Copies of this chain bind each other. A is one copy, B any other.
């Protein structure tokens, strides 16, 4: 018990990093002599709600990066030898170098992310190491943000908030259609509302659920061309929401033409690279908005800039942008008045990140103890 208390302070004392480092070293030295414990390397302090899951676990010796910034590569590699598990962030490359440093003791890598493009899947599979990640727990947070961006893009939030922030409200020359954009909700002037989803997985379906009471009447989606389950998906969605007049899998052209809001929610990678391109954007309604809360690479930024400048669509709400985080203040999308840009905060709610951190801790513990991971990414050797 005194040991776990010692370990806990090593992870929590971020207010005094020198003290923290000292405690961490002492804790490490003490744990090194207790050979029945499994050493795990944790590359970020996960806070007072989550760290006790690891620090208080009787079978773990926890080595936590003590700084409040991205873990140094050299620290990570230096602490890996003899580790049974590693709990890492997107910032840690898990490649042959890291895996070899850890050596044969390594049973599990648990990443606190849905994505795993920082992991060399071949290298980890070859070594028989399990890989855990954190899907599902961020579904609601991203669906919330998708709805928020659809509203913000339609309601000209960038222009209207800047009128206030720049002190222009007192002298603004009001007119009957000042600030007006397309209404997300159905109205007598727009009795049908169509949501188009590029990718129709959990997050897309959770977003659709939220749109139903806004009066959405039609749901269009694209799917994996090799999947033959589209018709059963469509009929189950249709059964769930009787107010929808149609739920259909369609091609990209029809989706672009018919949608009032297009939600980009497909995985990244070569197959979806620039799936929203000039040809797609040219077909959109002039009153439609585009929301991207998946990966920046799915939307051709140059084409979107042109589309916004020339009024091919009403506006855009982006949580992700090609080349992020290297998106400076002169990036044309940042300057575009009808393009809301957020710094990739899709999963950034206290509840969602607690869920991700909890699942990452659970994956780590299960992997170290040789139990099934709650969320394992199955690898093929």
Contacts and interface: CB of A to CB of B under 8 A. Distances in A.
Interface of A: 44, 46-47, 68-70, 89, 91, 112, 140-141, 143-145, 147-148, 151-152, 154-158, 160-161, 163-167, 169-170, 172-190, 209-210, 212-215, 287, 324-330, 334, 340-343, 345, 348-357
Contact of A182 (B151, B176, B349): B349
A167 B328 contact: yes
Contacts of A172: 325, 343
B155 A151 contact: no
Number of copies: 2
With a 10 A CB-CB cut-off, give which of A167, A174, A182, A355 has the most chain B CB atoms: A174
A155 B190 contact: no
17 contacts: A44-B176, A68-B173, A144-B214, A148-B152, A154-B349, A155-B349, A157-B342, A160-B343, A161-B340, A164-B327, A165-B334, A169-B328, A180-B348, A180-B352, A182-B350, A189-B354, A189-B355
Q: Is the interface of A mostly helix, strand, loop or mixed?
A: loop
Contact of A185 (B141, B182, B188, B215): B141
Contacts of A147: 147, 151
A176 B355 contact: no
Given A152-B152, A161-B341, A182-B349, A328 B170 contact: yes
Contacts of A169: 324-328, 343
Contacts of A154: 349
Contact of A170 (B165, B325, B340, B348): B325
B170 A326 contact: yes
A89 B354 CA distance: 50
A114 to B, nearest CB: 14
A166 B156 CA distance: 19
Contacts of A140: 183, 185-187, 214-215
A342 B187 contact: no
B348 A164 contact: no
Nearest to A215: B140
Contacts of A348: 155, 177-181
A19 to B, nearest CB: 20
A129 B166 CA distance: 42
A186 to B, nearest CB: 7
Nearest to A173: B69
A157 B148 contact: yes
Given A175-B68, A185-B141, A210-B214, A180 B327 contact: no
Contacts of A156: 345
Given A152-B152, A177-B47, A342 B161 contact: yes
Q: Which 7 A-B pairs have the closest CB atoms?
A: A167-B329, A183-B349, A148-B151, A187-B351, A140-B185, A179-B348, A183-B351
A356 B112 CA distance: 50
A91 B182 CA distance: 25
